[in-house]
Homo-oligomer: A and B are copies of this chain.
């Protein structure tokens, strides 16, 4: 796993070199290259491998998805959004580069990332490239992660919006969609058949949900050293989360049942990496 993360980090650095204007590229590189678990690119590469593809062929897309993820972090942390000063244990982008450059660096990543796919995926057919890009725009856009973020913001501090329906929508889109994008992209690059593709997508949906419930729990039970970002904010800003809508015990029960579902699904994928990722979630949440 550590070796894979190292490989991804090297490729992120390679695909996003320092260019002019200095400050713009420094700001883009700052958040993209922050130390991270690289879950999304790992899932992309691993599902490519699971279905018999070469992971080198998936590397540009895996890195592009991490860049898209970094974009959402930069804009989410802005004062007008979640107003977070820290991310992955370091100052957030706008605290280092200012709000204007942070906003533009996010915009730049949104157009840079798909170009990384376009220009570096030399072994993919135009048809596969177009399908990957269509998913990229769908899950990374107004019908995907951004839709989730809007409903998340609208629910903040507004208890009348704290419904199960909104919670599901936020988790499905804000967290789940980038995991789906990662898994589907890996499967596409390996030319997975339709049934395998659907199974992988179904796993991604459940995994995304598990990941977000764990995140909601950790916001209450963890500390800065562990998470690298300001915690306890969900409650303070009366955010709509699994813990706020139900309670901590119920959230843990729900998480346990989804993790068990994930366990069953990955049996047929035969993947130590997926097993380790699920184990890690259990360990962090103390399940």
Contact = CB atoms under 8 A, between A and B. Distances in A.
Contacts of A269: none
A149 interface: yes
Nearest to A138: B115
A5 B217 CA distance: 52
**Which of A78, A130, A137, A142 is the most central at the interface, judged by chain B CB atoms within 10 Å of its CB?**
A142
Interface stretch (A20-28, A38-46, A48-56): A20-28
Interface string A4-42: 000000000000000111011100100000000000000
Contact of A110 (B81, B110, B150): B110
A140 interface: yes
A101 B150 contact: yes
B106 A142 contact: no
A20 B142 CA distance: 9
Interface in A122-178: 126-127, 129-130, 133-134, 136-138, 140-143, 146-147, 149-151, 153-154
A119 interface: yes
Interface in A96-134: 98-101, 103-104, 106-108, 110-112, 114-115, 118-119, 126-127, 129-130, 133-134
| Interface residue range, chain A | 35 or more
Identical chains in the assembly: 2
Contacts of A78: 103
A80 interface: yes
Interface of A: 19-21, 23-25, 28, 71, 75, 78, 80-81, 98-101, 103-104, 106-108, 110-112, 114-115, 118-119, 126-127, 129-130, 133-134, 136-138, 140-143, 146-147, 149-151, 153-154
